[in-house]
Amino acid sequence: MPTITFVQPTGHSDTVTVSEKTSSLMRAAVANGVEGIVGECGGQAMCATCHVYIRPEFEDALPEISEDEDEMLDCTTAERTNRSRLGCQVSVGAHLETIIVDVPTDQV
């Protein structure tokens, strides 16, 4: 089962283990009450409140950023960097059993 670690700006981290059926980083965070991941639009890539920073060692395991995700990443409250992704667009599962992401300082 996929294990995801969310690291807060304070350094506090939450590690959650989720079912293979959990579709995304955003859903894993919301289902486990992880602070700082809102997911306001429900995963439609329309709000950017699921913004996360992917740790560099996991970048190669992720799909390319779609045009819609790229446009929405320009709307994040916290600074967009080359590690930014929308948590709702990053799926977890057999292809990605473990990942560590940093939670931004602000989402809204």
Which residues of this protein are in contact with ligand FES, per CB under 6 A? 26, 39-41, 43-50, 72, 86, 88
Cα separation, 9 vs 64, whole angstroms = 26
Please, what is the minimum distance in Å from the beta carbon of residue 69 to ligand FES? 8
Please, what is the minimum distance in Å from the beta carbon of residue 108 to ligand FES? 11
Cα three-residue angle 3-105-10, rounded to 5 degrees:
70
Of 11 and 67, nearer to ligand FES (C-beta) is: 67
Of 14 and 37, nearer to ligand FES (C-beta) is: 37
Of 4 and 50, nearer to ligand FES (C-beta) is: 50
- Helix (H), strand (E) at residue 27: helix 25-31
Of 2 and 72, nearer to ligand FES (C-beta) is: 72
Please, what is the minimum distance in Å from the beta carbon of residue 30 to ligand FES? 9
Q: Which two tokens stand for residue 102?
A: 């940093």
Q: Which residue is nearest to ligand FES (CB)?
A: 88
